[in-house]
Structure 1
């Protein structure tokens, strides 16, 4: 593959837009659902949290099966079906007024969220030239990072100006556009195979080649969960709640500035040149957060975390796909996100249990040090991959 082959084709743009719309919806609802539960449905904070965790648990549960489902029915077909069902279920928020029925809807929607995010990542990998996959998947991942800012920003700014019904209708309209984008995507020939058999086995739930690098992703996301789950509460405890609204803006800008360079560096020099420094930078950002006592330090930590974490995650996803057979990109993506999502879920739960005893500063100091374990885990994953490659060469000889 020549380096000059384009990444930003029409089909790649469509896939990026699908991912952007889905994650804008996801992060917007992450912000407003607890408020809606308490203000409109008369629920408690714990019930609001249950609506969030129910969605995530559903997505994690469905993720290992999504690779097999995609292989059985095809990427294009499952992309279209999952986006349609996700969109249709989003309109039901307008009419449902019961918390427990809403919880069932969240669980149902989480299944299709899992399949959408798996299949779009797999399609994106198929559309990107192999020689530029690190750079291309970095751009693709930026759509998720932009959504972290766009979704909550729109939702919170409209919350006091329009009704929840209008807000739900607006975001349902956003994901409806995703149906059109999905219909327009063309998948390269040979990358949308279907299987006549659907078996529940380890190989049909996980891709062995992606497991080790996905383990690195699990430990990275475990540490990152302390940021995404508690940064606003931490900022409030420091009297910096107004500044916290800019934290993820700075975070996203830092990622967008560094990602084009790190993606190209990944493709030209190799993943280690990006991943090792990024882990260290991520660690520094978490430690800065632990010692934050001013608005400037809070925003600086957001920028440093954005540079570190934002460079690690697309590299790990790229490695998971590259470590797997080409026709199993769906399985590799599902394996990576199963462990990655599990890290966020477990981390949020664990840190939520211990924060009252330890305090936020100690949590961030712990994660800042603990994330360095990924230096050794990444080395372990690559040594294993190298050994396997050498064995395959010797067998071929």
Structure 2
């Protein structure tokens, strides 16, 4: 029981719930704002993408800043201010009636999200015992996965049955809950602040030791962008439009069900046992998706991709944190997500160009090959490097 309590304490549960409601709001708006733009603001299809892009750009810009601030300043104040900014921006959606005002709001909202998501992640990492890092980060990211399952379903249901105003009021309530849980978290003391402040140049914003695994994560996110962005239109192209929602349900459900096991495996057996099978499953799932012609194959690939993706994402994030000094874990978290978000955005854009010039079948096949390339990046930049360091005694034999 003591072993369980050292992870599942009040503060860890509170920061997980704060992150859950933060990402619930994010996913609800992600799937419903395109409808709001076209139906309420009478915007065109080309304007939808920009609404999503400015949000991601703002988040990417401020993630490294947030990582540095959480290492050097008061984490609690950063979380409180960023969550208040996020909630305030969420409330403004209720009075938006102009497309350009929406773009400005999305940029500011992205700032609040980027800082809050990075800060809550850094606090969660600090609350998890070192011997249970993989398991703890896995559980923390499980709450984000739950938001990915529930958020889109609730958002689409509310906007279809009611209207955009009711939807935005509901999002304000969720953002308020995120604030409440974020405010009650007791943040552990920060170590090594003076050391962190001596970092110079670009190292003030990025953690060099987290860059190798972050590059692998960025490549993985490049292909993942094809899943979230194009599955609905791909399903419609296959004549299986209604199955798109079931694809996401299966994809997310497999992630949720596998997450507790993957975290424990990481802590007991190390990253490689999860990463290489995860990459193989993700690659096979993407290639299978590119060849799908029947509903059964289409849905099964969602489960295969979910199993691979569910093993990889918390593993990569845990490696980024464990590769870095304790006092740089906030910067390491920001570094990882900056590259992940950048890869995600580039993938959604560039793979869309490939789909437009060829087909969705070709696009998903290429995305699968890119996932396979992630294995080479992981081995070359992380696995081989740490194997050499272990053999020379430069790192502990139990290190990643």
TM-score tier, shorter chain, comes to over 0.9
Q: Does 1:168 align with 2:182?
A: no
Q: Distance in 1 between matches of 2:258 and 2:358?
A: 34
Cα gap change, 1:155/1:393 in structure 2, threshold over 3 Å: closer, same or farther? closer
2:225 paired residue number: 225
Q: Are 1:282 and 2:282 matched, yes or no?
A: yes
Equivalence for 1:78: 78
Q: What displacement does 1:198 show?
A: 9.8
- Count of residues paired in the alignment: 393
* 3-state secondary structure, aligned to 1:371: helix
Map of 1:127 onto structure 2: 127
> More deviation in 73-82 or 299-308?
73-82
For residue 232 of structure 1, report the CA deviation from its aligned partner: 0.4
**Structure 1 residue 190, shift from structure 2 partner:** 3.3
TM-score, normalised by the number of residues in structure 1? 0.94
Q: In the alignment, which residue of structure 2 is the partner of 1:340?
A: 340
Structure 1, residues 376-395: CA drift from partner, whole Å, max 9, x if none? 2111212223445647469x
**SS at the partner of 1:159?**
helix
Residue 393 and residue 237 in structure 1: after superposition, are their counterparts in 2 closer, same or farther (change >3 A)? closer
Aligned to 1:205: 205
Aligned 8 A contact 1:135 1:266 in 2: yes
Query: Which moves more between the two structures, 56-65 or 311-320?
Result: 56-65
Cα deviation, 1:306-341, whole Å, max 9, x if unaligned, reads 000111000000000000000111000000001000
> How many angstroms apart in 1 are the aligned matches of 2:195 and 2:113?
22
Could you say if the C-alpha distance between residues 365 and 206 of structure 1 is closer, same or farther in structure 2, counting changes exceeding 3 Å?
same
Taking the aligned partners of 1:370 and 1:48, their CA distance within structure 2 comes to 27
Give matches, 1:39-78, under 5 Å.
Answer: 39-78=39-78
List runs of 5+ in structure 1 lacking aligned partners. Answer: none
Structure 1 match to 2:322: 322
Aligned equivalents of 1:108 and 1:194: distance in 2?
A: 31
* Larger displacement relative to structure 2 (256-265 or 65-74): 65-74
Between stretches 320-329 and 198-207, larger displacement belongs to: 198-207
- What RMSD in Å do the two structures reach over aligned CA positions? 2.0
CA offsets 1:232-260 (integer angstroms, 9 cap, x no match): 00001011111111111111111122221
Tell me, yes or no, if structure 1 residue 90 matches structure 2 residue 86.
no
Shift of 1:272: 0.4
Aligned equivalents of 2:296, 2:152: Cα separation in 1: 22
CA distance in 1, matches of 2:395, 2:339: 30
**Equivalent-residue separation in structure 1 for 2:112 and 2:363 (angstroms):** 33
Secondary structure in structure 2 of the residue aligned to 1:241: coil
C-alpha distance after superposition, 1:61-101 (max 9, x if no partner): 22222212223422111011100111011100111211111
Deviations along 1:142-163, one digit per CA (max 9) or x if unpaired, are 1111111211100111112212
Alignment partners' CA distance in 1, 2:252 and 2:172:
24
Alpha-carbon offset, residue 346 of structure 1: 0.5
CA contact (8 A) 1:67 1:204 kept: no
Report SS of the residue matched to 1:206. Answer: coil
Structure 1: how far apart are the matches of 2:58 and 2:40?
Answer: 24
Structure-1 residue corresponding to 2:104: 104
Confirm or deny: 8 A CA contact 1:18 1:178 kept in the other structure.
yes
Structure 1 residues 192 and 90: alpha-carbon distance in aligned structure 2, compared to 1, 3 A threshold: farther
Could you tell me how far apart the structure 2 residues matched to 1:117 and 1:257 are? 23
Q: Is the contact between residue 158 and residue 166 of structure 2 (CA under 8 Å) also seen in structure 1? A: no
Report the Cα distance in structure 2 between the residues aligned to 1:37 and 1:272, rounded to whole angstroms: 44
CA offsets 1:195-238 (integer angstroms, 9 cap, x no match): 99698721111001100010110111011111111000000101
Superposition deviation, residue 297 in structure 1: 1.3
Q: Is the partner of 1:230 in helix, strand or coil? A: helix
Gaps of 5+ in 2: none
Aligned in 2, Cα 1:98/1:199: closer, same or farther, shift over 3 Å? farther
Partner of 1:254: 254
Q: CA deviation at 1:136?
A: 1.1
Please tell me whether the aligned partners of residues 71 and 195 of structure 1 are also in contact (alpha carbons under 8 angstroms).
Answer: no
Alpha-carbon distance between aligned partners in 2 of 1:329 and 1:64, rounded to the nearest angstrom: 12
What does residue range 111-190 of structure 1 map to in structure 2 within 5 Å? 111-190=111-190
The verdict on how the C-alpha distance between 1:199 and 1:323 changes in structure 2, with shifts beyond 3 A counting, is closer
